[in-house]
Structures are given as C-alpha cells and as structure tokens.
Amino acid sequence: MKTLIKNAQVVLPTGIESVSVLLDGSRIAVVDAAPQTTADEVVDATGLHLLPGVIDDQVHFREPGLTHKEDLATASRACAKGGVTTFLEMPNTRPPATTQARLDEKLQLAAKKSLVNYGFYIGATPDNINDLQQATRTPGIKIFIGSSTGDLLVDDQEALERIFAETTLPITAHCEDETTVRANAARLAGTTNVADHSRIRDHTAALVATRRALDLATRHRHRFHLLHVSTGDETELLADHQGLITAEACVPHLFFAEDDYARLGTLLQANPSVKTKQDQQRLWQALVQGHIQVIATDHAPHTLTEKQQPYPQSPSGMPSIENSLALMLNAVHHGRLTLPRLVEAMCDAPARVWDIVGKGRIREGYDADLVLVDLCRTQQVCNATQWTKAGWSAWHGTELTGWPVRTWVLGHEVYREGGVDASRYGQAATFDHHRGGYWATQE
C-alpha cells in the first residue's frame, strides 16, 4: 500500500521543509514527492509537522512478572498514542533478562503483543559474563550500579572491570553509588517524608557512580551511555566524550524538582531522585548544548494504590511515555529548545547510539515510522484518558501546546485522533553494532 502525506512541514536532517512524503509499504519511498504523485491513501497534512517516530531507549514495561502494573500490549498502545514508534526495554522484569533464552522469550512476547517496534537489553549480573559475551539481537548491556536488588546489582569493582574489559556490546548503566545511598538511608532511618528521598539518593550518590562508570569506559575504551542524568555536576563530566560516551535526560528530571514533592508527594518518587531547580536548569542547558544527546522517559509504571503508600513503602518510578513528546513539544512552544533539536534528541540520536538500522530520520529507504504533530493544539494531560495500564500521570491537569495526532509504524497507521488500529504489530529493531555508535561518522 502507498500512502502520500501531503504538504506537511517535514523535519529533515537538513532542516524543516514543506514537502510531501510517499510511503511504499514499510519504507519511505520519496521525501519530496512531485505534485502529480498518486497513492492508495492521501493524507492532507497542511498546517501540521511530520517527525520521525520517537525512539525511547529507556522503558520498563513490566512483562513478564509484573503485568498488573503494565504489559507489552497496553504500553505499546500508549507508545502509539504518544508518537513513540520504537522502545528499548530494561531487563529488570521477573525473571530478569540476563540470558539469551530470556531475551528470546521477551522478543517472542513482543512479536505477539507490541503495536510498535521493540528491543530488549540484556542485564548484567556479577557472574554472567559468558551470557553478555554471546548475546545477540539486543541494543546492549544494562548495568545497575546501585538502585537494584538481587543479581542485577553490580557494585563489585572486579565484576565491573570484567564487564567493561571482556564484552563488546555497548553498555548503559543506572549510576547511583550504593554505599552512599545506604549510608544516607541509615542516617535518615525512620523518615516518612518523601522529600527525604532526594537526600537519600543525593547528588553525591549520582556523581560518585557516574565518575566510576566514566572511568571504566575511558580506561577500557568501551562505548557507554549514561542513563537519566539528574544533577548539574554530572553534565560537567559529559563535555569530554572521548568518542565513547553519550548521555540522556529523562522527562521527570527535566520537568520536576524537589519543590514539587509538596504538591505531588510519592507520585514524584523516582530513582534517581529529582534534584534542585538549579540542577534542572543545568540539564536543559546541557541538552541544548548537545552534552546530553538523548531524551527518554524511564517509563516505570506502578498502580496508583502502590504509589500512594506512605514513604518509604512507596515504589519509585512513574508512567510518562504517552506524554513525553507532548511535553517536549510544549517546551518547543515556550522556546526552551528548537524542533530540530527535539527531533535529534528523541529520534535520530537514540538510533545512532544503539546502532538501530533504518530508523530515526525521514530519509528515502528508511522505515516509515512517523508521527504527525499539531504544534498549535492545546489540551490538558488527564488521568482519565491515559492509555497506560497504571491509569495516572504526574502531569495530570497540566496544559500542553503541541500534540501528536497520527502515528505510523512501518507504514501502517496505528494511531489517529484518539483511536488505535491493532491489526498489525511492530517488529524487532535490528542492531548493527559494527556501525560504531553515536560518535561514528554518519551517512
């Protein structure tokens, strides 16, 4: 089937141009289609902007094992609504994805359930080096340097040295120093004030673990992606990337700060914790400057009942995937960053960091993963209309200008104006790790 998206403002690597884009099956066939071009379906996109589909490289979709919070079907529908056409999911499901067999199980589940494209990280443990060396069909290795339990916590220096020295897949990590977190927790033992979460998981915990990970990556010359930067001090370490290091900011840390605990309580609890307004401003500065390359969500849903438990029984994490693009479009509306910079950070950069084939750009021959957005549409985030299984949002009641209105996955329209077509599913992303990552020369 051929689809012509006509007269859109198209965000291309070269800038924003008013062109028509022809889709032929699952691919982008022509980026500046002639006026006489015909197609099976013609979409009049006058007044709208066409972007590459968003790639979210950090999500927790809870399947298998915790599907009362979320599952691949509900989460991928929320992706489609939010303009996210590819997700990369973390390994801390139950059981955790620490072997090829468990990775394959998750890939098989997604093939049956996911409306959008997908990939799954393999999780590092202190003693699964052989699995990490042999893993295939994965974006990379995820290490929890702090903020985990059981086998997925890798805090031992010798184990970390081996992972960085003896594996070849790109590595990403959650960086909070476990020793610092435990010492702070002991000092604040007995607290029921959720604002203390930012004192337990403080600046020092983030900075110590980040310095440790960057040292490992630099010494072993191993590609490394720093997840959810939360402090301004960390951004100072990222300017010298040495051709190895990339980083991301997540929407909770870009839009919330410690002052918001008074309003949101345990709904705001996350790992890493939100920090100060000054930290938030420095994250935005690093994002605009390009020292932070990627915007992600760390979508980590829990039921509202779970989140409303008193601290510290309340779990960390929040759902955000169906609102992330709208939040960033609203930031464009208010002049915090440009639309091309948004597209670079949410679409192109994740594809380059993780060597994803055929995604992240509107270019002939690339996959037809696209989202049409209305930069003038203003509406509120509302709990009652959330598609994630959790059914709530920390941004409930927030008015945003700029929303996705139609989403295509591999040329198939999966979302339009509040409706979804689940008659066809996404596919596993292809990773070509010979490409060399974000800092390699791009075509």
Residue 428 belongs to a domain:
no
> In this structure, are 34 and 114 located in the same domain?
no
> In this structure, are 43 and 63 located in the same domain?
no
pLDDT over 60 at 391, yes or no: yes
- Measured CA to CA, the distance from residue 55 to residue 83 in angstroms comes to 9
Quote the tokens at residue 420: 């979804």
> In this structure, are 246 and 262 located in the same domain?
yes
> In this structure, are 249 and 271 located in the same domain?
yes
**Are the beta carbons of 123 and 97 closer than 8 angstroms?**
yes
Return the sign of the alpha-carbon dihedral for residues 418, 374, 118, 307: negative
> What pTM does this model have?
0.98
Position of tokens 């100072």? Answer: 236
**Are the beta carbons of 200 and 192 closer than 8 angstroms?**
no
| CA nearest neighbour of 151 among 132, 130, 175, 127 | 127
Position of tokens 């994965």? Answer: 138
- Measured CA to CA, the distance from residue 420 to residue 290 in angstroms comes to 35
Residue 362 belongs to a domain:
no
Burial grade of 34 (CB within 10 A; 0-12, 13-18, 19 or more):
exposed
Residue 287 belongs to a domain:
yes
pLDDT digit string, tens, across residues 16-60: 999 999 999 999 999 999 999 999 999 999 999 999 999 999 999
Cα separation values, 143 from 56, 146, 441, Å: 18, 9, 27
Active site residue 298: yes
Residue 170 belongs to a domain:
yes
The percent of residues above 90 in pLDDT, for the chain, comes to 93
> In this structure, are 278 and 401 located in the same domain?
no
Residue 324 belongs to a domain:
yes
- Measured CA to CA, the distance from residue 280 to residue 269 in angstroms comes to 16
Quote the tokens at residue 99: 């072997």
Mean pLDDT of 114-119: 98
Question: Cα 60–339–343 angle (5° rounding)?
Answer: 40
> In this structure, are 11 and 84 located in the same domain?
no
> In this structure, are 91 and 197 located in the same domain?
yes
- Measured CA to CA, the distance from residue 396 to residue 102 in angstroms comes to 36
Residue 426 belongs to a domain:
no
The pLDDT confidence band at residue 443, using thresholds 50, 70 and 90, is: low
| pLDDT at res. 418 | 78
| pLDDT at res. 423 | 83
Residues whose CB falls within 8 Å of the CB of residue 220, separated by 6 or more in sequence, listed in order: 161, 164, 165
Mean pLDDT of 344-364: 98
Which amino acid is present at 192? T
Please spell the DSSP secondary structure of 399-430, one letter per residue. EEEEEEEEEEETTEEEEETTEE--SS---BPP
pLDDT digit string, tens, across residues 56-82: 999 999 999 999 999 999 999 999 999
| pLDDT at res. 165 | 98
Q: Round to the nearest angstrom and report the end-to-end CA distance of the chain.
A: 28
Mean pLDDT of 201-227: 97
| pLDDT at res. 151 | 79
> In this structure, are 80 and 178 located in the same domain?
yes
3-class secondary structure, 84? strand
CATH number, domain with residue 23: 2.30.40.10
Residue 135 belongs to a domain:
yes
**Are the beta carbons of 119 and 141 closer than 8 angstroms?**
no
DSSP 356: B
> In this structure, are 126 and 246 located in the same domain?
yes
| pLDDT at res. 148 | 65
Question: Cα 249–251–254 angle (5° rounding)?
Answer: 70
pLDDT digit string, tens, across residues 136-168: 999 999 999 976 666 788 989 999 999 999 999
Quote the tokens at residue 430: 């292809």
Domain that holds residue 411: 2-50+371-386+397-420
Mean pLDDT of 316-329: 98
- Indicate which residue of 56, 131, 298, 369 is catalytic: 298
**Are the beta carbons of 151 and 122 closer than 8 angstroms?**
no
* H or E element at residue 122: strand 122-123
| pLDDT at res. 104 | 98
> In this structure, are 150 and 59 located in the same domain?
yes
Return the sign of the alpha-carbon dihedral for residues 262, 264, 267, 269: negative
| CB atoms near residue 94 (< 10 Å) | 10
> In this structure, are 314 and 242 located in the same domain?
yes
Residue 436 belongs to a domain:
no
> In this structure, are 232 and 261 located in the same domain?
yes
CATH number, domain with residue 97: 3.20.20.140
- Measured CA to CA, the distance from residue 155 to residue 178 in angstroms comes to 7
Cross-strand partners of 42: 4
Position of tokens 């080096």? Answer: 129
How many domains are there within the chain? 2
